[in-house]
Amino acid sequence: MTGIVQFENVGLRYGTGAETLSDLSFSLAPDGFYFLTGPSGAGKTSLLKMLYLAQRPSRGSIRLFGEDVVALRRSRLPGFRRRIGVVFQDFRLIPHLSAFDNIALPLRIAGVDERDLVTPVREMLAWVGLGDRASARPPTLSGGEQQRVAIARAVIGRPEILVADEPTGNVDPEMAARLLHLFDALNTLGTTIVVATHDIHLLSRVAKANVMRLDRGRLADPTGALRYPPKPDFGAEHLA
Amino acid sequence: MRIGATAADRRLLPEGRLAGPMPWVIAIMIFLTALAAAGGMAMGASADRLGGDLGRRITIQILNPDPARRDAEAAAVTAAIEKESGVLAVNRVGADAMRALLKPWLGDVGLTQDLPLPAMIDVDLSAAGRARLDAIVAAAKAAGPDVHVDDHARWIAPLIGLIRSLGLLAGLVVALMVGATAAAVVLAARSALDTHRETIEVMHRMGATDVQIARLFQRRIALDALFGGIVGLIGATAVILTIGAKLAAIGSGLVGSVSLPGSAWLALVCMPPLAGLLALVVARATVLRALGRSL
C-alpha cells in the first residue's frame, strides 16, 4: 500500500537563490484530508505547485498515483493533471467565459460530450449557490462568487486529488462551511484533499483532517502523521 | 490532424477575426505574390509560345535575280523539303504578300515590277524536325544552290532567354513572399500566445494537451489568412485584368503574346486556400514549439 502522493527529500530552488523548500518528505493517503498551514512566505504555494505539476522540484523524488513524475515526459503530464483539481488563490477564471463555461472547461478538455456536461455543470452551479448566474462572466461576479466558480471548476471532474490554495479567503463563514462540507463529501468519495489556509479556525472544522505545517521551507511532522502508511510505532507514540 | 475546434473551444479565444493586422498583412502579401506569380507564369507561357511558334520555323530565301530560275528553284526546294520528315508545313510567301510586307519601307514608287525580290518559303517544323534541322537545310541546298536559310530560333533565343530569366525572377519573388507570409504568421501566432497566456496556463493546469491548445490558434489564424488571401487575390486580379487589357490594346505580336493561360488562373485561385493552409501549418508548429518550452 502506497500513498497517492509521495515526496522524498524534495527541494525547490528558484534560480540560484537559497532553497525555498528543503527536504520535504511525506506521503498522503488516498482518502486523506490535509490542511497545509504556515506563515506567509513559508512555501505553501510552491509546494502546491509541485503537487499539481506546475513546477518541477530541484531535487528529490515526487510520486503521484504510484508514478515518478519528476522525470515524466511533458506529453504524459496532461493525463496526470486531469486527475488533479486545483483551486487557485487568485481563482484564474477565464474572464470572457460565462460561469457555466468556466466550470465546464475541465470536462471539455477531457473530451466530454456537450450533451453530457450540461446537467453536471448546472448541478454544480446550483450546489455552490450560483444556479441563476450561469451566464454571468467573472468580472460581473463578486469575489466570493468567483471563488465558488473556481471551486466548482476544480471539483466538476471528480478529481482524485483536490488542491486548494486559500479556498475560503473570500467567502462568508456560512459559505466557507458549505465549501468545507463539499470538500468533506468529495473526501468521503475517495478524493484526497489538500487545502492551504491561513485560517486557523478552519482547521477545527474537519475533525479527520491532518495538518501539514510549513515553516521557512521545511515541513514539520513531529508525530509522523504525514507518513503513509504510518510508522509502525506511530500509534504507540501517540498513546504514550 | 484535426484542424478545427468546437464552438465551445472557439469561445476560449475572445477576439473576433480580423482583430489584428495579420489578415491585412496577408492580403498585401498575396496581392504582391499573385502579381509576381501571374507575371512569371505569363512570361513562361509567352516564352513557350514564342519558342513553339517562331523557334520551330525557318524561312528559306532563294536569292536568284532571274525570276524564272528563282521560281524553278523555289519549286524544287519546296518539293524536296516536303519529303523530309519533321516538316509540318511548307508555304511559299506569295509575291503580293511580299510587296505588302515591303510597302511600308519602300512605298509604291520603290516597289517596281522589276525589283528583284527573293522567293521566300516558310517551313514549320515539329520538335523532331527541329532536331534534324541540318538534314533539312542540306536537302534544301541540294535542291537549290541559291538557298539561304533564316533560322528564327537563332534570333529569338536571346529574347526567350530574357523572358525566362524574368520568369525565374518572378518565381524567386514568389518564394520570398511565401517566406515572408510564413514569418508574418509566426509573429501573429506568438502575439496571440502572449495575449492569451493566462487562458493557456489555466488550460494546461487542467490537463489540456499542447495539440488541444494549438488547435484553437491554428484555426483562427488560418481563417484570417484565408480572408487576407481572398482580399489580396481580388486586388491582384483587378490589376492583372487591367494590364492584360492594355497589353492586348498594343496589338504588337511579341507584346500581345504575353497572356495568362487558364492553368495560371487556376493557380492564382488556389492561392488563398494555400495561404490558409500555410498559416495553419506554421501557426500549429509555432504554438507547439512555444508550448513545448513550458512545463
ipTM, interface predicted TM-score of the complex: 0.84
Beta bridge partners of B92: B121
Query: Going by C-beta distance under 8 Å and a sequence separation of 6 or more, which residues neighbour residue A98?
Result: A134, A135, A136, A137
Q: Give the pLDDT confidence score for residue A38 in this predicted structure.
A: 87
pLDDT band at A122 (very low <50, low <70, confident <90, very high): very high
Q: Give the pLDDT confidence score for residue B153 in this predicted structure.
A: 78
Dist. CA A126–CA A122, nearest whole Å: 6
Nearest CA-CA distance, residue A117 and chain B, Å: 12
Query: Above 60 in pLDDT, residue A235?
Result: no
Suggest the residue from B205, B213, B293 to mutate for an interface test with chain A (most A CBs closer than 10 A).
Answer: B205
Do B20 and B133 lie in one domain? The reply is no
Q: Give the pLDDT confidence score for residue B67 in this predicted structure.
A: 81
Contact assignment for A82 to B204 by CB distance below 8 Å: no
Do B200 and B82 lie in one domain? The reply is no
Mean pLDDT in residue range A50-55: 92
Sign of torsion, CA B18 B22 B25 B29? negative
Instruction: Choose among B198, B206, B210: nearest Cβ to A109.
Output: B206
Tell me the pairing of strands B87-93 and B119-125.
antiparallel
Do B255 and B167 lie in one domain? The reply is yes
Q: Which among A5, A7, A13 has a CA at the least distance from the CA of A43? A: A13
Output the tens digit of pLDDT for each of chain B's 295 residues.
455 556 666 667 765 555 678 889 999 999 999 999 998 888 888 888 777 767 788 888 888 888 888 888 888 888 888 888 888 888 888 878 877 877 777 777 766 767 777 888 988 888 888 888 888 888 888 888 888 888 877 878 888 888 888 888 999 999 999 999 999 999 988 988 888 888 899 999 999 999 999 988 888 889 999 999 999 999 999 999 998 888 877 766 556 566 788 888 999 999 999 999 999 999 999 999 999 888 7
Contact assignment for B212 to A106 by CB distance below 8 Å: no
Q: Give the pLDDT confidence score for residue A238 in this predicted structure.
A: 42
Nearest CA-CA distance, residue A207 and chain B, Å: 30
Do B141 and B171 lie in one domain? The reply is no
In a domain? residue B150: no
How is residue B263 written as a grid cell? Answer: 492553368
Do B141 and B93 lie in one domain? The reply is yes
Q: Taking CB atoms and an 8 Å cutoff, what residues of chain B touch A112?
A: none
Dmax (CA) for chain A in angstroms is 57
Contact assignment for B198 to A79 by CB distance below 8 Å: no
pLDDT band at A237 (very low <50, low <70, confident <90, very high): very low
Q: Give the pLDDT confidence score for residue B36 in this predicted structure.
A: 92
Query: How many Cβ atoms are within 10 Å of B263's Cβ, its own excluded?
Result: 10
Q: pLDDT tens-digit profile of A78-120?
A: 999 999 999 988 889 999 899 999 999 999 999 888 899 999 9
Do B21 and B123 lie in one domain? The reply is no
Residue B220 near residue B13, CB atoms below 8 Å: yes
Q: Taking CB atoms and an 8 Å cutoff, what residues of chain A touch B213?
A: none
Do B71 and B114 lie in one domain? The reply is yes
Q: Of B92, B118, B145, which residue constitutes the final position of a domain? A: B145
Mean pLDDT in residue range A39-63: 91
Give the residue from chain B lying closest to A88, CA to CA. B202
Dist. CA B227–CA A69, nearest whole Å: 44
Do B199 and B279 lie in one domain? The reply is yes
Structural domain tally of chain B? 2
Nearest CA-CA distance, residue B19 and chain A, Å: 16
Supply the pTM of this predicted model.
0.74
Q: Give the pLDDT confidence score for residue A168 in this predicted structure.
A: 80
Contact assignment for B295 to A94 by CB distance below 8 Å: no
Q: pLDDT tens-digit profile of A192-222?
A: 999 998 877 788 888 888 888 888 888 876 6
In a domain? residue B17: yes
Q: Which domain holds residue B107?
A: 64-145
Instruction: Choose among A77, A80, A108: nearest Cβ to B9.
Output: A108
Query: Above 70 in pLDDT, residue A124?
Result: yes
Query: Above 70 in pLDDT, residue A232?
Result: no
- Between the CA of residue A200 and those of A37, A38, A213, B64, what are the distances in Å? 8, 10, 11, 122
Indicate which CATH number applies to the domain containing B124: 3.30.70
Contact assignment for B202 to A106 by CB distance below 8 Å: no
Nearest CA-CA distance, residue A124 and chain B, Å: 17
Q: Give the pLDDT confidence score for residue A107 in this predicted structure.
A: 93
